[in-house]
Amino acid sequence: MNQKNRKLIGRYILLVLAGILLGWLLFGRSGEPDDHAHDHEVAEEAGEVEYTCSMHPQVRQDDPGDCPICGMELIPASEEDDHQEDDPFIFSMRESHYKWANVQTMRVTAREAVSQVRLTGKVAVNEKETRNFTANFPGRVDELFADFTGRFIREGETLARLYSPEMMQAQQELLNAARNKEQNPRLYSAARERLRLFNLTEAQIDNIESAGEARSHINVYAGQSGYLVERLVSEGDYVNTGENMFAIADLTTVWVELDAYESHLGKISTGNEALLGVPSHPGREFSGRVEFVDPFLDHQTRTARVRLTVSNDEMWLKPGMLVYADIDSGEERQEVVIPSTAVLWTGKRSVIYVKKPEKEGFTFEFREIETGAPTAEGYPVLSGLSAGEEIAVNGVFAIDAAAQLRGHFSMMSPPETIELPEPFRSNLGLLFERYFDVKNALADDDPEEVSVEHAQTMLTQLEETGEHSLDGEPHTFWMEQYGLIAESLDDFLDADELETRRAHFEPLSEAMISVAQTMGAVGQTFYAAFCPMYDDDRGAYWLSEFEEISNPYFGSMMLRCGEVREVLREGVGGTEMPEEEMEGHVH
């Protein structure tokens, strides 16, 4: 083989080797698992993978399977935890947990409604339509016709027949006087009057006079129709004048006596209309009107009696029946009502879970709210929830339990709250509202006189709240903030230009934020927002009642400039803005 051929063969060999190397580089590694998968398989083979339940994180085992508590399929522990917010009020659920717990949500709306109070009680006899029959003369009951309670008695029906020597004597006096009535008419009239006082009718007296002899027995007649509700005598009993014998009640109208707790009494007054229902007649409604509210509370049950008069012509309502009533308070207002299934009780306050649409996945916010008296449709929300928000209405307990297991706030481990005394709390809530009026006027570029008017109203409310409304350590803090707020408002009112007012709005906002951080938001959630571009990029804070940015320092020029830096909640205080953020912003 010559040298030329050897060189050619060598080149072919090099080309083949290069192709093999290139093929291995391109395709030879495709069948190998990546490091993560490989490590996971090795870990599985070594028995190092731990499985847990997304609902019950305390369950841990080495092999896959089902949760021994709830039966859900176990997942690797590395996949157990969702990304959780640093905020302990916010909790995110895995999709599998969300579906297993059958969580359902609804968006709440406000509506014009007449506030209603639902009470329970019983049907009772109408005492105004009940007549007691007493003995008008002494005697012995020889015959008893009204012999059992519950019997219907018609007006004029004989109830009993009495033997009475005193009655016989009075009859004899009438007969004697009748013989000489022409000579002594006054004696005759007196004899007849005596028998009338014994409750004898004119017809009975005339019969005695026409018969010409005294009768040993006198009948007792019913003076009204109704049901015999009480029988206090039996045959053979002796009765004295004035002694009760029978009670007859007309049940064509009845009383409904309801029990009202102290929290209900402010919404109930005489004249309020009510719709009633009884379990024995489902679907049938009765109407009534509040006739009486007991001025005293029962010391044991802490309830007051509320009485309604209800028509009962068809006799559907029977004394002793259980009844419920929805009473209209007559107050028309916008209100948010949520289903009872959405509420977890914690004592004075209630817990709900609000879905956060701006967060990824299934994220909920722990929220404490104040509810009113329950109605047929659920609980009216007095504070803590706004129309348009979305809340969990089913699976709420599962959300709360999972949040507790992850160390977040829950019904069993709520945040420490600050209880503000009344009337300071209510006045402070109004002060925040007046501040928001000033803030919104600046953000909306309202005419200058509008913001000035709101600032003057806020100053008046500040004076109404009072500088010395608290005791102890809170008193010292409030006195300091009171002075800062008053000074800022005075400067705001003395300013002649809009930009100057905005400059004085900054220390006012910082004082209000400090109050909200220390004493908590009152009545709702507040948002501390920050604009980084105000005052040559020095920045400034303000407080808002809603999360959307509406910048009071620039108005329409840069309305959406800024971001929420802190969420302040009802009753949760003691927080502080980071020092590096607040530095340089105190005037």
Angstrom distance (rounded) from CA 185 to CA 272: 58
Pairing of strands 104-107, 390-394: antiparallel
Angstrom distance (rounded) from CA 518 to CA 396: 30
Quote the tokens at residue 46.
């070594």
Q: Is the whole-model pTM more than 0.85?
A: no
Measured CA to CA in angstroms, residue 407 lies from 253, 413, 418, 582 at distances of: 59, 9, 21, 29
pLDDT of residue 114: 60
Quote the tokens at residue 145.
């016709």
Neighbours of 566 (CB within 10 A): 20
Q: Which long-range contacts (CB under 8 A, 24 or more apart) does 76-84 make?
A: 76/49, 76/50, 76/51, 76/52, 77/49, 77/50, 77/51, 77/52, 78/49, 80/52, 80/54, 81/406, 82/361, 84/406, 84/408
Angstrom distance (rounded) from CA 485 to CA 505: 10
Query: pLDDT truncated to tens, each residue of the chain (587 aa)?
Result: 555 455 555 555 555 554 554 444 444 444 444 444 444 444 444 445 677 776 666 677 878 888 887 777 877 664 444 445 567 888 888 777 778 778 899 999 887 766 678 899 999 999 999 999 888 889 999 999 998 999 999 998 999 999 988 888 888 888 888 888 888 888 988 988 888 888 888 888 888 888 888 888 888 889 899 999 999 999 999 999 889 999 999 999 999 999 998 878 888 889 899 999 998 888 899 999 999 999 999 888 889 999 999 999 889 999 999 999 988 877 667 788 899 899 988 556 789 999 987 666 688 988 888 887 777 678 888 888 888 999 999 989 888 888 887 778 888 777 777 788 888 988 999 999 999 999 999 999 988 888 899 999 999 999 999 999 888 888 899 999 999 999 999 999 999 899 999 999 999 999 999 999 888 888 778 999 999 999 888 999 999 999 899 999 999 999 999 998 888 877 665 544 444 444 434 33
Domains and CATH numbers, the chain: 39-80 (no CATH), 83-103+339-415 (2.40.420.20), 128-249 (2.40.50.100), 253-330 (2.40.30.170), 424-582 (no CATH)
Quote the tokens at residue 94.
């895995």
